[in-house]
Chain A
Amino acid sequence: MRNANPWKAAVAAGVLLLAVACGSGGGTDGGGAAERKNVGKGEGRVDIIAWAGYAEDGSNDPKADWVHPFEKQTGCKVNTKTAGTSDEMVSLMKTGQYDTVSASGDATLRLIAAGDVAPVNTRLVPNYRDIFSGLKMRPFNSKDGKMYGIPHGRGANLLMYRTDKVSPAPDSWKAVFDGAAKYAGKVTAYDSPIYIADAALYLMKTRPALGIKDPYALDRTQLDAAVALLKKQRQQIGEYWSDYQKEVTAFKGGDSVVGTTWQVIANTAAAEKAPVKAVLPEEGATGWSDTWMVSAKAAHPNCAYKWLDWIVSPKVNAQVAEYFGEAPANAKACEETAAPRHCAVYHADDEAYYRRVHFWTTPVPQCLDGRRNVKCTDYAEWTRAWTEIKG
């Protein structure tokens, strides 16, 4: 043994490593998973990936708790992983360790294409029939006539500002782009490549010569213009945010005074006595339409289906919608909200209103606005551009 050739050992180890390496990548079977035929007894546990505010268990606000009642009713213990960006959700779902995810439109198609999620048998989710028809069978949550999840709710990315530091009250995204110099070092922006669409939306209204029709369908020239705008904006940025608590503290402490936000952040900051206000600017806004999807490799599919039905049930959907500050997906939820006019305020069934909101979508080479003569920039290019913008 003492004289054993060290090279032999090294080669053996190398071969072993290669085998391990090649085995780890695995193959994707492109949506081979079939939808379920029935929902059986719960497995005692469900692992969830959610946006902050979607799976509250009372630890942030004792009044916001729809996780414990679910656990009590179904016996499924809920493990929640809060994600800050869609990219994080996609990568977490790839691990196969989670059963269900509240995916936005810029994640859903990627998850479907990669075979990470399975089609959902909507007959097994009784509350699905009360979902607004405007949210059913949409291009971002279905494929080949099959629903790949249960719609949860929708809303817009808003402009938030400190009422004591920003005047006059802004009603345009100009406050964070061309007019950002006024608040140099105190402007904030969402730290994700998808934020490029916010710049594109602003250019769509302010520089019509660029010909942007859809902020998610940008050809090379249009992307370059958006990147140039964001690079200019970076000079005035104090910090970028992707952790919602971080933005709450930044606005509370006055480190940020104006920037993009979610209603839930504005609500949390206001509840903590920060003088902030959030508005939907005149240009419209980017936004999200979320869908609860089930993993193709779900270890607890029965509990996942029970969660899907629970989270869009009228009462819970109303609670989540009010806590997060969005339009609920369930039509009956509008009768359950504590604020009687919640659905009217958030335009729950107002399709005309939501035409002003450009829902997050994954940019792909085939232009989403229907142009055939050019190739659009895809999400990988947006990601590289985002790294470049941050410098």
Chain B
Amino acid sequence: MSATRHEPRARGRLAALLAPPLLWLVLAYLGSLAVLLLSAFWTTDPFTSDVVHTWTTDNFRDILTTPVYRTVALRTLGIAVAVTLLDALLALPMAFFMARVAAGRLRRALLVAVLTPLWAGYLVKAYAWRVMLGEHGIINAALAPLGLHGPGYGTAAVVLVLAYLWLPYMILPVHAALERLPAHQLEASADLGAGTVRTLRSVVAPAVRPALLAGSVFTFSLSLGDYLTVQIVGGRTQLLGNVIASQVTLDLPLAAALSAVPVALVVCYLAAVRRAGALDSL
């Protein structure tokens, strides 16, 4: 085979092709993370906020022993879980309709409707929600005739806006999985006498589960790291991202140690998702 004859040259070319992206991955991408984690073991001069290169684990001890960090970490985790569940609930029927019911022009229009907001600026969308959720905003105006009052600014508003922001990341993988589901499997299920519920449980659910888990990795990890939405519509709440942001300017090592918390949470979540088998097809 000619491939054997050209192997050294081909390998050289492959190495040249892969070297820049690998260098980028290791140095710029993983390297910056490593530097961040490394600086978590340093300390700062309390007055000038300059980093002092003395090796210490005090930052991690502080995080584990200070109650407020635990409260904030749990609140952040809770919000990320709530956002993920809300997105899953919204995405499933939506994706099912797009993939299996709607056809032709309607399907394309729906896909565009899901994708377009993705291209709009993050801040624009968050500020639009700030206006809508305000005291004299459209949400309160719409609920007023029913005698209800909107959530205002706070934790509920944060969950709502984050769920809105990350919804496409959930719809798209679920939609792709449902689209791939062969029609004859559904027909076979019906031929064998299964009702709608049974078909959903035994045929559709196993096909959708990996996609749902893959989508949840996005919604979960993006929610864990967010700190702007909560600044805009969070009222007086703070999340891990805000605590990190407020410390970055004054105590970089503590901020670095704090940022290990969401990293650890995401790693745990990925491990759980892997056990559930969602990453097998990667």
**Which A residues have a C-beta under 8 Å from some C-beta of B?**
13, 16-18, 20-22, 24-25, 28, 87-88, 90-91, 94, 109-110, 113-114, 185, 234, 237-240, 243, 246, 249, 253-255, 362, 364, 378-380, 383-384, 386-388, 390-391
Q: Is B31 an interface residue (CB 8 A)?
A: yes
22 A-B interface contacts by CB (under 8 A) = A20-B27, A21-B38, A25-B42, A28-B48, A28-B50, A87-B249, A91-B248, A113-B47, A234-B236, A237-B235, A238-B153, A239-B236, A243-B231, A246-B232, A254-B136, A255-B135, A384-B66, A387-B68, A387-B243, A387-B247, A390-B238, A391-B71
Name the residue among B27, B50, B68, B72 with the largest chain A CB count within 10 angstroms.
Answer: B50
CA gap between A93 and B2 in the complex, in Å: 60
Q: How far is the CB of A238 from chain B (nearest CB, A)?
A: 6
Name the residue among A25, A234, A254, A364 with the largest chain B CB count within 10 angstroms.
Answer: A25
Across the interface, which residues of A come within 8 angstroms of B47, CB to CB? 109-110, 113, 362, 364, 378-379
CA gap between A386 and B245 in the complex, in Å: 13
Q: Are B31 and A255 in contact (CB under 8 A)?
A: no
Q: Are B249 and A253 in contact (CB under 8 A)?
A: no
Closest chain B residue to A389, Cβ basis: B68
Across the interface, which residues of A come within 8 angstroms of B232, CB to CB? 246
Q: How many of chain B's residues touch chain A, expressed as a range?
A: 35 or more
Q: Are B46 and A21 in contact (CB under 8 A)?
A: no
Q: Are A88 and B249 in contact (CB under 8 A)?
A: yes
Number of A-B residue pairs, CB cutoff 8 Å, is 104
Q: Are B31 and A17 in contact (CB under 8 A)?
A: yes
Q: Are A383 and B35 in contact (CB under 8 A)?
A: no
Contacts known (A238-B235, A391-B68); A379 close to B46, Cβ less than 8 A: yes
Across the interface, which residues of A come within 8 angstroms of B71, CB to CB? 391
Across the interface, which residues of A come within 8 angstroms of B238, CB to CB? 387, 390-391
Q: Are B153 and A239 in contact (CB under 8 A)?
A: yes
Query: What sequence of 0s and 1s flags, for each residue 108-152 of chain B, a beta carbon within 8 Å of any chain A beta carbon?
Result: 000000000000000000000011001111000000000000001
Q: Is B49 an interface residue (CB 8 A)?
A: yes
Closest chain B residue to A9, Cβ basis: B26
CA gap between A110 and B234 in the complex, in Å: 31
Across the interface, which residues of B come within 8 angstroms of A13, CB to CB? 26
Across the interface, which residues of A come within 8 angstroms of B53, CB to CB? 22, 25
